[in-house]
């Protein structure tokens, strides 16, 4: 038997090999506990959040806004509140909008529709007249976007209920929507934004394009926000909270506050874990030397 | 043979998409083929002519400044060397267009101040300027440097509390320029931080040519909180100057400047439109055309059976024959119509081409407009509303003409078609002796589109390319291929899992579960989803809960028990299993992150130290807690993301793009043999 193996491990050495289940349980307790802590840190709207706000403020009233609902349950904590805040702004300005849904991500259609219907009730928005949720269409690459840009009704064909977009009686709003020139702004809600929107729509037709995405993927969009190709961005749950602050919504209509608190506490926990891990590592390193 | 066919198809499809992407949707056409807007007139005493600068739109985002000249301010002729100023693609000052042109002649040269547009980058509109020696060849100088309090630039510096108080962004509305005693004064209309229209002045100092904004805004008495200034023009009338404003609610206003620095500045009463007096029109001028078309439309009665008043010959015979025999007009024997009517009807008959797309010869206004509207809207002629020019203007400019005032305005002309990005616009002009009542030509009462002859018309239109027509079809083809790819994925999965089931062994239950889920969801989607869609539509349509229940019950009765249960099972599995499983899987990632943070993020080198430090700053900067620790933290986090992360990410993107091009070209030319061999 080697002499080192017989030597009992120090606290720091044992701490370094701490059972991960303890970490997980502690994390779980922190996350759940954060839901019950009534913290109200004020959000400072970032420049890119304010830019998206300005883009919606400047969106023409005689065109519709296209909402690309390309998100899924995994990022619900971030995207749901982002979308809710954007819908508040659109309806406050009485802008008409359509919700795009893609077959690769069927959950996006349900979420987009449900949130829009919920907010629409508050503002008296009428389905078919003020907003429409499109049926799902396949989307592989930019060619589909390019095709849609030239003939929206022909490409999408039906709404979420299977009603033809040419149906004047049920969807009167759609009769004024022919092609991309009838779209005043596109806001894409997704995990990570699809650059095909820039290559095939924004770059070709100049339609303003904004994104609302998960915080973890937002780093990929900063270059495009700075270059002006993306007209504004909401990054994660914090972006949603910032937008709610810009809209000056009453406290009861700011659901993004809670996820932001949870996010803040989770990040602090992770940073604390990094710190502890490194303290233990560096201290044990010093002892070895 | 098969490989050659696939290679050829790949090449042809690739060539098609490359050409389609590279070629514009339409080819040719003048810079002002879509619309003429934002007129601004300058009188050049030396040449004794009026010069009108206007913004010509090729489409909404491709704009240029054109020039037209006139001796009398009524008849205008486009300058052959148009456009005189183009937008700069890589300069954000006017990348997306121009508005509010303000030309002046000063110090033997010309200067043009304008609002440059870039709708992608806030603040979207900025003051720009250009100079010229002769008014034809211009040199742009980009954004005008204005010192002092510049409220429209402050939005970037607004703190959180200010944003909360003033959620609206400030933005520029319009410009006007005045020259007084050789000094330039710029009038700047903008939306202030409270969302109200404000009129500021900026002066150019004599010594170093700097522009300074005067702190006190001009009082805009009578302007409501919602009114915005669409167009602003300075007109010099004798000793006093006037500012003409066209407001967002279609009101034309005049403000007198008794002093150049506006000691008394009050909005004048809106000018009125002076309609031509009815007695000035002879009865024959209005009728019989209006009545004729009205009757033909309403009664579908053959024109020759009309009682008086009827049309004179050859019109009566013409319509009678057209009605009775449906014979092409150019085949008529005498009496025939005079030109341009004969050619007009012949073309309309033969080509079914909308009248507004005709080249010359075309009938004069108001007939051209009348037929254009009849064609486009199929609306009964007697329901046409008389468009009031003072209510239908888009942008205006006023200048001192020979007879007093002259107003040039842009307004829609013709209908927007599906291919048009925006409604076409043309410039018109009307005059006034006193600026209060505007004289309209007597033929105003004819109806139809504006009888006022356009001062300037749009340039020739562009033509669609052959490829444009097929693109929609190709998009559908790709969608179908995409759908097949999804099916192919399912088949591959089935083959792989089938082999595992056949072999048996550890984990075979997972493969069996896969087949159960696949068959269940496939069947439920095919049979159940249409029923669920119907149920949802019925529920949405219902106004009461009872009605919704009845509607659902009706749908239940229409379908078999099995199908309806399958539909409900589909709904349950999709919304109550798949969604939550997805969320759960994603939530698990956070636990892995915690484990990795504790075990792997170790400062084992200087680089690792920098990585952890920057990650800490970025993470804290993105949450409200970070701002509580110090305002520098979000700013520093933002800098790290934008500067360092942005630079690295761009480099990665460029590398990826070059690699993608390389691989694509190899695939396209059939050099990448692997894909054709299936290896």
Residue B262 pLDDT: 46
Same domain, B69 and B157: yes
Same domain, B43 and B90: yes
Highest averaged pLDDT of the listed ranges A74-78, B267-271, B279-283, B292-296? A74-78
Chain Cα centroid distance, residue B131: 29
Length of chain B: 679
The rounded distance, in Å, linking the Cα atoms of A175 and B141 is 44
Contact A264 B616 (CB under 8 A): no
Contact A54 B124 (CB under 8 A): yes
How far is the first Cα of chain B from the last one, in angstroms, to the nearest whole number?
A: 18
Q: Per-residue confidence at B664, pLDDT binned at 50, 70, 90?
A: confident
The runs of H, that is alpha helices, within B277-365 are 283-286, 289-299, 315-325, 341-351
Task: Give me the mean pLDDT over the B312-337 stretch.
Answer: 60
Residues in A touching B602 (Cβ below 8 Å): 277-278, 281
Establish if B20 belongs to a structural domain.
no
Strand segments (E) across B363-488: 395-401, 404-412, 425-432, 437-439, 454-456, 463-464
Mean pLDDT of chain B: 74
Contact A281 B603 (CB under 8 A): yes
Establish if B12 belongs to a structural domain.
no
Q: Per-residue confidence at B161, pLDDT binned at 50, 70, 90?
A: very low
Does pLDDT of B265 surpass 60? no
* pLDDT tens for the 289 residues of chain A, in order: 455 555 667 777 777 778 888 889 999 998 888 888 777 777 778 888 988 998 898 888 888 999 999 998 888 888 999 999 999 999 998 999 999 988 778 888 889 999 999 999 889 999 999 999 998 887 656 777 887 887 888 888 889 888 889 888 889 999 888 888 889 999 999 998 888 898 888 888 888 899 999 988 888 898 898 888 898 999 988 899 999 988 888 888 888 888 888 888 888 888 888 888 888 888 877 666 6
Residue B292 pLDDT: 60
Residue B166 pLDDT: 35
Residue B551 pLDDT: 86
Residue B30 pLDDT: 80
Q: Per-residue confidence at B451, pLDDT binned at 50, 70, 90?
A: very low
Residues B260 and B240 sit within 8 Å (Cβ to Cβ): no
Question: Of A43, A106, A271, which is closest to B619 when you measure between CB atoms?
Answer: A271
Residue B542 pLDDT: 79
Does pLDDT of B539 surpass 60? yes
Contact B591 A235 (CB under 8 A): no
The structural architecture, per CATH, of the domain A47-255 is 3-Layer(aba) Sandwich (3.40)
- If 0-12 CB within 10 Å is exposed, 13-18 middle and 19+ buried, where does residue A118 land? exposed
Same domain, B47 and B194: yes
Residue B580 pLDDT: 85
Residue B326 pLDDT: 58
Same domain, B221 and B354: no
Q: How far is A129 from chain B (nearest CA, A)?
A: 14
Pairing type for strands B49-59 and B35-44 reads: antiparallel
Closest chain B residue by Cα to residue A237: B623
Same domain, B449 and B311: no
Provide the residue ranges of all domains of chain A, joining segments of one domain with +.
3-36+262-288, 47-255
Asked if the C-beta of A228 comes within 8 angstroms of chain B's C-beta atoms, the answer is yes
Residues A154 and A148 sit within 8 Å (Cβ to Cβ): no
Closest chain A residue by Cα to residue B540: A127
Does pLDDT of B377 surpass 60? no
Which CATH number characterizes residue B419's domain? 2.115.10.20
Whether omega before B522 lies within 30 degrees of 0, making that bond cis, reads: no
Strand, helix or coil at B354?
A: coil
Strand, helix or coil at A132?
A: strand
Domain count, chain B: 4
Q: What is the ipTM of this complex?
A: 0.84
Question: Of A161, A248, A281, which is closest to B536 when you measure between CB atoms?
Answer: A161
Asked if the C-beta of A10 comes within 8 angstroms of chain B's C-beta atoms, the answer is no
Residues A71 and B654 sit within 8 Å (Cβ to Cβ): no
Does pLDDT of B322 surpass 70? no
The rounded distance, in Å, linking the Cα atoms of B642 and A133 is 35
Residue A112 CB contacts under 8 Å (≥ 6 apart), including other chains: A67, A69, A83, A99, A101, A133, A189
Closest chain A residue by Cα to residue B647: A223
Residue B382 pLDDT: 46
Establish if B138 belongs to a structural domain.
yes
Same domain, B549 and B573: yes
Find the angle CA(B485)-CA(B489)-CA(B492) to the nearest 5 degrees.
130
Contact B476 A46 (CB under 8 A): no
Question: Of A41, A222, A277, which is closest to B624 when you measure between CB atoms?
Answer: A41
Strand, helix or coil at B56?
A: strand
Asked if the C-beta of A142 comes within 8 angstroms of chain B's C-beta atoms, the answer is no
The rounded distance, in Å, linking the Cα atoms of A28 and A38 is 18
Task: Give me the mean pLDDT over the B113-134 stretch.
Answer: 80
Residue B272 CB contacts under 8 Å (≥ 6 apart), including other chains: B436, B437, B438
| DSSP, residue by residue, B223-261 | --TT--EEEEEEEEETTEEEEEEEETTS-EEEEEESSTT
Residue A263 pLDDT: 84
Q: What is the pLDDT of residues B163-207, one digit of tens each?
A: 333 333 447 889 999 887 778 888 888 877 667 788 888 888 766
Highest averaged pLDDT of the listed ranges A212-216, B572-576, B665-669? A212-216
Task: Give me the mean pLDDT over the B495-520 stretch.
Answer: 90
The rounded distance, in Å, linking the Cα atoms of B97 and B65 is 9
Strand, helix or coil at B68?
A: strand
- If 0-12 CB within 10 Å is exposed, 13-18 middle and 19+ buried, where does residue B658 land? exposed
Q: How far is B84 from chain A (nearest CA, A)?
A: 24
Establish if B252 belongs to a structural domain.
yes
Task: Give me the mean pLDDT over the B43-68 stretch.
Answer: 87
Higher pLDDT, B433 or A29: A29
The rounded distance, in Å, linking the Cα atoms of B535 and A110 is 15
Residue B252 pLDDT: 79
Give the global pTM: 0.66
Q: How far is A154 from chain B (nearest CA, A)?
A: 8
The rounded distance, in Å, linking the Cα atoms of A202 and A186 is 9
Can you state the percent helix, strand and coil of chain A, rounding each to 5? Answer: 55, 15, 30
Question: Of B468, B474, B533, which is closest to A162 when you measure between CB atoms?
Answer: B533
Establish if B484 belongs to a structural domain.
no
Contact A147 B476 (CB under 8 A): yes
Closest chain A residue by Cα to residue B618: A219
Establish if B145 belongs to a structural domain.
yes
- If 0-12 CB within 10 Å is exposed, 13-18 middle and 19+ buried, where does residue A197 land? buried
Same domain, B223 and B268: yes
User: End of a domain among B362, B383, B404?
Assistant: B383
Residue B386 pLDDT: 47
Q: Per-residue confidence at B24, pLDDT binned at 50, 70, 90?
A: low
Highest averaged pLDDT of the listed ranges B8-22, B263-277, B473-487, B521-535? B521-535
Does pLDDT of B674 surpass 80? no
Residue B447 pLDDT: 35
Which domain does B549 fall in, by range? 504-600
User: End of a domain among B538, B571, B600?
Assistant: B600
Q: What is the pLDDT of residues B457-507, one digit of tens each?
A: 666 666 666 666 666 666 667 777 777 877 888 889 999 999 999 988 888
Residues B233 and B397 sit within 8 Å (Cβ to Cβ): yes
Residue B280 pLDDT: 37
Same domain, B595 and B619: no
Residue B156 pLDDT: 41
User: End of a domain among B600, B626, B650?
Assistant: B600
């Amino acid at each position: 038997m080697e002499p080192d193996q017989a030597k009992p491990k120090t606290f720091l050495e044992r701490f370094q090999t701490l059972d991960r289940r303890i970490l997980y349980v502690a994390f779980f307790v922190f996350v759940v506990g954060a839901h019950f802590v009534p913290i109200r840190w004020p959000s400072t709207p970032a420049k890119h959040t304010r830019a998206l706000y300005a883009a919606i403020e400047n969106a023409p009233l005689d065109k519709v806004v296209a909402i690309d609902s390309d998100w899924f349950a995994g990022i619900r904590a971030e995207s749901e509140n982002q979308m809710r805040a954007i819908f508040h702004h659109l309806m406050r300005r009485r802008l008409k909008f359509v919700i795009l849904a893609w077959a690769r991500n069927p959950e996006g259609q349900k979420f987009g529709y449900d949130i829009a219907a919920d907010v629409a009730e508050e503002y008296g928005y009428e389905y078919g007249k003020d907003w429409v949720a499109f049926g799902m269409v396949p989307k592989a690459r930019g060619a589909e976007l390019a095709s849609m840009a030239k003939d929206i009704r022909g490409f999408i064909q039906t709404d979420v209920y299977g009603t033809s977009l040419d149906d004047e009686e049920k969807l009167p709003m759609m009769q004024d929507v022919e092609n991309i020139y009838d779209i005043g702004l596109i806001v894409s809600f997704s995990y990570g934004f699809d650059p095909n929107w820039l290559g095939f729509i924004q770059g070709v037709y100049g339609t303003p394009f904004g994104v609302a995405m998960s915080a973890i993927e937002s780093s990929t969009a900063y270059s495009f926000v700075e270059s002006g190709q993306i007209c504004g961005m909401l990054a994660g749950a914090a972006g949603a909270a910032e937008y709610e602050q810009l809209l000056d919504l009453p406290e009861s209509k700011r659901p993004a506050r809670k996820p932001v608190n949870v996010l803040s506490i989770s990040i602090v926990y992770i940073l604390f874990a990094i710190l502890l891990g490194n303290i233990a590592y560096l201290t044990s390193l010093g002892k070895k030397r | 043979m098969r490989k050659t066919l696939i290679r050829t198809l790949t090449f042809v499809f690739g060539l098609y998409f490359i050409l389609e992407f590279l070629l514009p949707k339409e080819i040719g056409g003048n810079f002002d083929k879509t619309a003429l807007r934002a007129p601004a007139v300058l009188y050049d005493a030396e040449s004794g002519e009026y010069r009108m600068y206007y913004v010509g739109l090729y489409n909404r985002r491709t704009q240029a400044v054109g020039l037209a000249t006139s001796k009398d301010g009524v008849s205008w002729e486009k300058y052959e060397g148009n456009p005189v100023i183009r937008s700069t693609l890589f300069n954000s000052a006017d990348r997306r267009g121009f508005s509010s042109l303000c030309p002046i002649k000063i110090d033997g040269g010309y200067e043009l101040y304008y609002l440059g547009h870039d709708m992608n980058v806030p603040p979207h509109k900025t003051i720009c300027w250009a100079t010229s020696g002769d008014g034809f060849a211009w040199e742009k100088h980009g954004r005008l440097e204005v010192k002092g309090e510049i409220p429209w630039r402050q939005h970037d510096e607004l703190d959180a509390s200010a944003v909360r108080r003033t959620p609206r962004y400030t933005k520029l509305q319009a410009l006007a320029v005045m020259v007084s005693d050789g000094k330039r004064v710029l009038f700047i209309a903008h939306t202030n931080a409270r969302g109200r229209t404000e009129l500021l002045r900026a002066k150019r100092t004599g010594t170093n040519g700097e522009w300074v904004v005067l702190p006190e805004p001009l009082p805009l008495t009578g302007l409501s909180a919602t009114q915005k200034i669409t167009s602003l023009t300075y007109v010099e009338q004798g000793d006093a100057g006037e500012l003409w404003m066209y407001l967002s609610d279609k009101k034309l206003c005049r403000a007198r400047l008794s002093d150049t620095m506006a000691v008394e500045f009050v909005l004048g009463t809106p000018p009125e439109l002076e309609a031509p007096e009815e007695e000035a029109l002879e009865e024959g001028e209005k009728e019989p055309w209006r009545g004729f078309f009205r009757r033909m439309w309403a009664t579908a009665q053959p024109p020759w059976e009309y009682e008086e008043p009827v049309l004179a010959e050859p019109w009566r015979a013409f319509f009678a024959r057209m009605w009775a025999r449906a014979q092409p007009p150019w085949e008529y024997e005498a009496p025939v119509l005079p030109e341009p009517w004969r050619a007009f009807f012949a073309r309309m008959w033969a080509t079914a081409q909308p009248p507004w797309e005709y080249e010359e010869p075309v009938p004069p206004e108001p007939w051209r407009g009348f037929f254009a509207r009849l064609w486009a809207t199929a609306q009964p002629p007697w329901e046409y509303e008389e468009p009031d020019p003072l209510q239908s203007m888009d942008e205006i400019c006023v200048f001192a003409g020979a007879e007093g005032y002259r107003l040039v305005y842009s307004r829609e002309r013709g209908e927007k078609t599906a291919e048009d990005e925006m409604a076409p616009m043309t410039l018109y002009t009307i005059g006034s002796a006193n600026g209060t009542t505007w004289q309209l030509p007597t033929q105003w009462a004819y109806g139809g589109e504006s009888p006022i002859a356009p001062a300037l018309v749009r340039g020739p239109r562009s033509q669609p390319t052959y490829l444009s027509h097929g693109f929609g079809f190709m998009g559908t083809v790709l969608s179908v291929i995409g759908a097949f790819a999804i099916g192919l994925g399912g088949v591959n999965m089935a083959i792989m899992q089938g082999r595992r089931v056949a072999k048996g062994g550890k984990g075979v239950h997972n493969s069996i579960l896969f087949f159960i889920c696949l068959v269940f969801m496939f069947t439920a989607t095919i049979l159940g989803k249409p029923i669920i869609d119907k149920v949802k539509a019925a529920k949405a349509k219902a106004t009461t809960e009872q009605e919704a229940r009845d509607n659902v019950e009706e749908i239940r009765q229409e379908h078999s028990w099995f199908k309806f249960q399958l539909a409900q099972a589909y709904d349950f599995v999709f919304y109550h299993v798949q969604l939550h499983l997805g969320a759960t899987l994603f939530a698990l990632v956070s636990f892995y992150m915690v484990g990795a943070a504790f075990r792997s993020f170790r400062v084992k080198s200087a680089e690792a130290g920098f990585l952890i430090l920057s990650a800490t700053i970025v993470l804290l900067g993105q949450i409200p807690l970070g701002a509580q620790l110090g305002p520098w933290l979000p700013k520093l986090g933002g800098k790290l993301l934008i500067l360092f992360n942005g630079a690295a990410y761009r480099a990665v993107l460029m590398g990826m793009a070059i690699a993608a091009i390389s691989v694509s070209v190899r695939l396209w030319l059939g050099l990448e043999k692997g894909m054709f061999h299936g290896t």
